[in-house]
Amino acid sequence: MAVHDTDICVIGGGITAAMAVEKIATLRPDLRITVVEAGRSIFDRQNRIEYHRRSMAYGEHPWHDDFIEDQQAKGMISMTMAVGGQALHWGGACNRFSQEDLRLKSLYGLADDWPIEWDDLERWYVEAEHRLNVSGEPSPYPEDRRSGPYPQGPTPLSFNLQVLKRWAELSGLKFSPLPMARNLTPFGGRGACGLYDTCGEVCPTGARYSPDYTYQQLIAAKKVTLHDRTLVRKLVLDPTKATIAAAQGAHQDRPGDPIEYRARLFVLASGQCWSPHLLLLSANSRFPNGLANSSGLVGRHMNGHKFISAQALIDDETFPGQNMTHSLISREYFRCATDQAFVRHDTRVWESSAGKEPRLRSAEGKLLLGDELLADWRARALKGSSVRLRTYYDSHPSVDSRLSLDPASKNRYGDPMPMIEHRLDAQAEGREAATLAHCTNVFERMARASNGRLTGQPRVSTYWDHPGGGCRMGASPAAGVVDSFGRTHDHENLFVIGAPTTPTGGCTNGTLTFVALSLRSAAKIAESVRG
Amino acid sequence: MVAAAAGVPLLRLRLSAADALTADHILVLRDVAPTVLPSALGAKGADDAVDAFVRWVRDYQEGVPLSHGYGEPRLVRTGPSPAPGYATQVAALQDAARARGGRFSTLPLETRRALLDDAFKAAGVPNLPGRPAGKHVVADLMAHYFGSSSANDLCYNARIGRNTYRAIRITTVRPRPLAG
């Protein structure tokens, strides 16, 4: 068995690991840090213009071989497993949660409070925004106070979004440009935005933050050792103590040749799916229900949020295609009066061309050719504008919202793969219809402000976005798998960071929160390893 | 896009010469293009649209993973090339035009429409595909052009430049008209 000794072994190579490692390496340059990632490194930025071209022309996936076919989970929202993780092709949205997210139990008697104070988390948001170089504008809602400015001004609104902002604010809601991890000028070895408008697929200039840049910089500076294509299959306990002694796995090219990583401290940074999965897989005679699982909460309270989507047709003129990945956000409904029916959600607005695509036949079925087809397209396209609307809403998980080991699905090693089944708690389930009615009312109110109308009924998502949970933080060993810093209650030298530690999933994009929590964990990790 | 299931072998193949559209086929497409594409393109623009379509077909690769999506992802690969049926479709269109009296472009508009209508119905083409799909070469030519950024600009008579490189400041104002 090949053995690698290191000070800190980080398992998982996504955005939270990138941010945490960057910070630990700064605070503790004396420590050896090894990142072990199951997927491959895709460090070929020189090819991304061509990948973008082929993605647009053929629909080809621009991140070649960014997944492992036999390492997939039921209920997972992305197949990606590579250095950089799902943030290789995220949209770059960097919204903050709000104070209410941390006090749901105290304020509303719902779900659980987080064992962390807002003012504490808020300063880590500021650091996260700086590391990701977020472009943003302070919220018009005074409750969204900030202790520091955004590192960049907001992504300028396109003509379309200026039109839509005027329209949307007629409803009484206040909108801001979506904060995005998108360089307006070159920063951090990455280029400026060239508005290819494919943030969620591939950014040819690197303007949208992508963790692969951070890893390449850390490797070049010899601050981290990266072992990619290496799947950690099990954490091994010290025979005499409740600490982790090693992580064992195998390289994709040598599946029969085990590798062992020995470290002083282990950081599980594999996201909300693979982090609890590894803890469950690592069950042994002393911890038969899995490591870090004396609470029984590993793989429980899997969270995220559902969303409601709608399309509207309005009178105003827009020109679809200007900046379709940018959007407007209102935080009007982040807060809910405690004496009213509970509902929390963000409200998002995008330009859209839905329903205005070119078509081959007229409404009467006549084949349209050349100028006729163009005239038909124009007549529909120039008649008002389509608008895409969406709300992410509070979807509190029950304890049975869970990740379990699926005996029917195994990888090449015979390890059972995870299966995630999201479930609302009883109170959240009970307000589903009211939430849909509320959001429909908000959309209708916005549409009516411009003699507009919704085209079709708003639809509730079939999956939970921005998933987290599975290793929730709790103030005591009975209340959570980890403490607020991500240190597991059961194993002093094992941390879980990022999305898995969140007790609830908020009502807006989660990545910035995952990163902020990870940076906070990183500071604690750096001081935890004695020199 | 024609999409095959995950079971398709991983292949990244250039089309064989036998699948490629020949110079004669391209001439027929150039003859058809002014009928099915906007006149604003002019003769050269229509020829360029045909050439761009032919390049697209030539560079098509089979068995390449498509974006596996988000939310409810699944592995889907590009399907067989749309090209193998093209030669037959071009020849059939040419024969049908001859039977009606000559080259396609010389026929009355309603005759051209009827020829294409019959061909599309026989091929099962109810609407423009999102990308060329191989059901009929002329529908695929139309889909390739009308799905382009330049067609979007033509529709709105505006320099939008969807999915192309643009400085952000350009998008902060009403896009200029094409002729401006």
pLDDT single digits (tens) A13-66: 999 999 999 999 999 999 999 999 999 999 999 999 999 999 999 999 999 999
Mean pLDDT of B42-58: 97
Name which of B73, B116, B163 is nearest A197 (Cβ-Cβ).
B163
Contact across the interface for B116 and A367, Cβ inside 8 Å: yes
Q: What is the spatial distance between Cα B40 and Cα B43, in angstroms, rounded to a whole number?
A: 9
Measured in angstroms, the CA of B81 and the nearest CA of chain A are apart by: 11
Which of A61, A359, A381 lies at the smallest CB-CB distance from B65?
A: A61
Q: What is the pLDDT of residue B21?
A: 86
Q: For chain A, which residues score pLDDT lower than 50? A: none
Tell whether A512 is within 8 A of chain B (Cβ).
no
Instruction: Check B175 against A159: CB less than 8 A apart.
Output: yes
Query: What is the least distance, in Å, from the CA of B88 to any CA of chain A?
Result: 22
How far off is chain B from A525, nearest CA to CA, in Å?
32
A78 touching B (Cβ < 8 Å): yes
Stretch 353-382 of chain A: residues touching chain B, C-beta under 8 Å: 357-361, 367, 369-371, 373-374, 377-378, 381-382
Give the pLDDT confidence score for residue B18 in this predicted structure. 46
User: What is the distance in angstroms between the Cα of B151 and the nearest Cα belonging to chain A?
Assistant: 9
- CB atoms A59 and B67 under 8 Å: yes
For residue A336, what is the DSSP state?
-
- Mutation choice for A interface testing from B67, B72, B116 by most A CBs within 10 A: B67
ipTM of the complex: 0.92
Residue B6's pLDDT band (boundaries 50, 70, 90)? very low
Give how far Cα A488 sits from Cα of A36, A92, A483, A496, Å: 20, 30, 6, 7
pLDDT greater than 60 at residue B12: no
CA distance A61 to chain B (A): 4
Beta strands in A209-288 (DSSP E): 225-227, 230-237, 244-251, 254-262, 265-268
Judge whether residue B9 has pLDDT over 70.
no
* Rounded (5°) CA angle A127-A133-A135: 110
Give the residue-averaged pLDDT of B136-149.
98
CB contact under 8 A, A58 and B162: no
CB interface of A with B, residues 165-184, below 8 Å: 184
Indicate the residue of A196, A369, A374 with minimum beta-carbon distance to B113: A369
Which residue of B39, B56, B163 is in closest CB contact with A198?
B163
Instruction: Count the residues in chain B.
Output: 180
Angle (deg, nearest 10), helices B42-58 and B23-36: 130
Nearest CA in chain A to B67: A61
Put simply, whether A196 touches B (Cβ < 8 Å) is yes
Under 8 Å between Cβ of B54 and B86: no
pLDDT of residue A531: 74
Residue B1 clears pLDDT 70, i.e. is over it: no
Q: What is the pLDDT of residue B179?
A: 81
Distance separating alpha carbons of residues A188 and A132, to the nearest angstrom: 9
Say yes or no for a CB contact (<8 Å) between A319 and B166: no
The reported pTM is: 0.95
Closest residue of chain A to B119, computed from CA coordinates: A367
The whole-number pLDDT of residue A399 equals 98
- CA atoms of B26 and B47, how far apart (whole Å): 9
User: What is the C-alpha separation between A230 and A9, in angstroms, rounded?
Assistant: 13
Find the CB nearest A79 among B39, B73, B168.
Answer: B73
Give the best residue of A374, A459, A465 to mutate against chain B (max B CB count within 10 A).
A374
Interface test with B, best of A50, A159, A193 (most B CBs within 10 A): A159
Report which secondary-structure segment, H or E, holds B120: helix B109-123
